[in-house]
Structure 1
Amino acid sequence: MNSPVFQLVKYSRLAHERGLTAAFGGNLSVLFNGKIFVKATGAVMDDMSGAQVAVMTLDGKQVGGVRPSSEWRLHLAIYRAREDVRAIAHLHPSYSIAVSNIGERLPIITPEAELYLRRIPVVPFRPAGSEELAEEIAKVMEEYDAAIMENHGIVTVGRTLREAFYKAELVEESAKLWYLREKH
């Protein structure tokens, strides 16, 4: 298995390359040996390096001098809510944000999304980085592996970062297909 730092760098760059986020937007994390490895605050996804990975304990304490993303509460709340989750992708893909005002869930269109996601709930807007957002998302993620945050982005989870990342791609594909179907 690759180190959590290697994984974060690899999938952060890939998220930017595949258009799932831009510039500073989004963050990924991995839970490994009781510690959360997460993108540092201010790090740019397509230029990530190992020096831009923050480490935290499960009780929310920062380890080392690298400050975690402002969304660290969201990551921490999900790990506390789901024992099976070992990785989280929080990204800002365009179509998912564009359709985030459609109601309480995004319709499932493809067989893959049905199989791997079952449902894609939409969480009402809460301020980025807030405890309220973390609590809302953790509640939804107790039952689902993906969610869209109104006017903000998406969150997906997995046993590995690879799994969480590919679920994020499925969410964005679902949003794009729904958008194209509705707008044409």
Structure 2
Amino acid sequence: MSRAIKTQLVKYSRLAHERGLTAAFGGNLSIRKGNLVFIKATGAVMDDMTAEQVAVIDMSGRQVSGVRPSSEYRLHLAIYERRPDVKAIAHLHPPYSIVASTLVEGELPIITPEAEIYLKRIPIAPFRPAGTQELADIVAKSVCHSDAAIMANHGIVTVGKTLREAFYKAELVEESAKLWYLSRKA
């Protein structure tokens, strides 16, 4: 079981980098299985991640594996606590979404029918320092009634019943931000 989960995390981590949704050390993905959370290890780089760079923690944040979890593990745990229906989370740093977060307050306007169907709304959570419980709490609150949120000056979070679903919602958030940004210039 854990081997299949780690394989998924590696696959979608590399795909996120290939598609320009994150760069360098930024971003992390996770999958919840029962009381365990599989998440990118601290210091791992998305485009060359390996199964050995997947950390495992329990829902209280206790490290179960030999590698330390991403500094954003609190963010993932807070969302899983508030949203028991969520089984996977994508936290990425796509450029248009970050730029939009500096220009829009409240919510990113929904432009396409696809975004309306799959996302419904894209709230923008106010800035809080990365890796903090403050950030975890404010973002978890933002995704209580949404499957996506943009974090001001930081990146995005999307959730799903599978990692595939969370990943493609992340692509949809970035497409929405890009279309919104380009429509401002028209």
Q: Which residue of 2 aligns with 1:35?
A: 36
**1:115-148 alpha-carbon deviations (Å, 9 max, x no partner):** 0000000001000000000000111111110000
Q: Which residue of 2 aligns with 1:141?
A: 143
CA RMSD of aligned residues (A): 1.0
Unmatched segments (≥5 aa) in structure 2: none
**1:48-86 alpha-carbon deviations (Å, 9 max, x no partner):** 100000000011100122000000000000000011000
Q: Which residue of 1 aligns with 2:116?
A: 114
Q: Percent identity?
A: 71
- The equivalences for 1:149-164 within 5 A come to 149-164=151-166
**1:145-168 alpha-carbon deviations (Å, 9 max, x no partner):** 000000000000000000000000
- Give, in whole Å, the separation in 2 of the partners of 1:124 and 1:64: 33
Alignment TM-score, normalising by the size of structure 2: 0.97
Q: Which residue of 1 aligns with 2:176?
A: 174
1:165 aligns with 2:186: no
Q: Which residue of 2 aligns with 1:90?
A: 91
Q: Which residue of 2 aligns with 1:12?
A: 13
- Give, in whole Å, the separation in 1 of the partners of 2:146 and 2:40: 23
Shift of 1:183: 2.0
Alignment TM-score, normalising by the size of structure 1: 0.98
Equivalent pairs counted in the alignment come to 184
1:100 aligns with 2:91: no
SS at 2:101 equivalent: coil
Q: Which residue of 1 aligns with 2:26?
A: 25
Shift of 1:32: 1.3
- Give, in whole Å, the separation in 1 of the partners of 2:80 and 2:4: 19
Q: Which residue of 2 aligns with 1:127?
A: 129
- Give, in whole Å, the separation in 1 of the partners of 2:34 and 2:4: 11
Unmatched segments (≥5 aa) in structure 1: none
Spell out structure 1 runs of 4+ moving beyond 6 A: none
